[in-house]
Amino acid sequence: MRRGVPLSDAISVATADTTLHIGTRRWRISVGERADVVFHLRDYFRRHGINAEVCSPTEVELDTEVAGAELGKHLADWSRVLDVPAKFVSKPARIDERETVVAKPLPRLGSLLTAKGFITEAQLELALNESRERGEMLGAILLRKQWIFEEELARTLSDQLSIPYLSIGRIGVDLNVARLLPREAGEKVGAIPVRVENQLIQVAFADPTDPKAVETVNKYLRNISIAVAELSDIRLAWREMR
């Protein structure tokens, strides 16, 4: 039997909302330990025209006037398809009309890097402009320009996303676990399974914010926990397995 959220559970949460005022409400949804699907859930609700933001590694906030019953049905459908036990973790909160309807975002990578003294404000501005023009990720640009080291980027992403940083060069990888992901797929998206921890396969990503990388891994591995590591270490680990 699939473990997705029962439709009745989702609707029961929404039913409590019927006594509230008509207007924008803020909902919070948890995906449990499935941090690997949180961006997928965000994008799913966005495709339905709902303002959705990731507010923690395993939670998404919705700011919307959509009725609770409809949100419950959307969540139940998504949960059944992905087999993820997602659920509403709080009753909808009224958003004051004077309040900007924006969920609290994750800390910005550039701001964290400047706060840590890894790059200057001028370097950040130049890199952000190039990122917008080329459609390239900020971290990749900073590395290419040799303005930061890989470890600095990986540790900052760890802080930004509240996920573990792994030094693969020091801890190594469990070869039996790593081989669960085809080498070609892992090398392409900069990811490698490292070990089993708490009944989840811990996968190190060079860029955990890349939804394509996470989706690629999810084609082969379902129950994963996300960590971040240097891309060069990930590539070296794959090469040593050839």
User: Can you give the CATH number for the domain in which 88 is found?
Assistant: 3.30.70
pLDDT at 221: 86
pLDDT averaged over consecutive 10-residue blocks of the chain (242 residues)? 45 47 79 83 88 82 87 91 86 56 58 90 93 83 92 89 92 93 92 90 88 85 89 93 83
Residues 138 and 199 in one domain: no
161 in a structural domain: no
Residue 160 belongs to a domain = no
Judge if 197 and 124 occupy the same domain: no
- Whether residue 63 lies inside any domain: the answer is yes
- Predicted local confidence at residue 125, as pLDDT: 93
12 conformational bin, left if phi > 0, alpha if psi -120 to 50, beta if neither = alpha
Tracing tokens 């794959």 back to the chain, one arrives at: 238
- Could you tell me which residues come within 8 angstroms of residue 175 by beta carbon, excluding any fewer than 6 positions away? 241
- Owner of token pair 């959705």: 52
Supply the pTM of this predicted model: 0.58
Cross-strand bridge partners of residue 193: 203
Residue 210 sits in a domain whose CATH number is 3.30.300.160
101 lies in some domain:
no
Range of the domain at 138: 109-148
pLDDT at 78: 93
157 lies in some domain = no
DSSP-derived pairing of the beta strands 200-205 and 224-228: parallel
Residue 100 in any domain: the answer is: no
Domain count, the chain: 3
Q: How far apart are CA 91 and CA 229, in angstroms?
A: 37
* Phi–psi pair at 175, nearest 5 degrees: -60, -40
Q: Say if residue 13 is in the same domain as residue 78.
A: yes
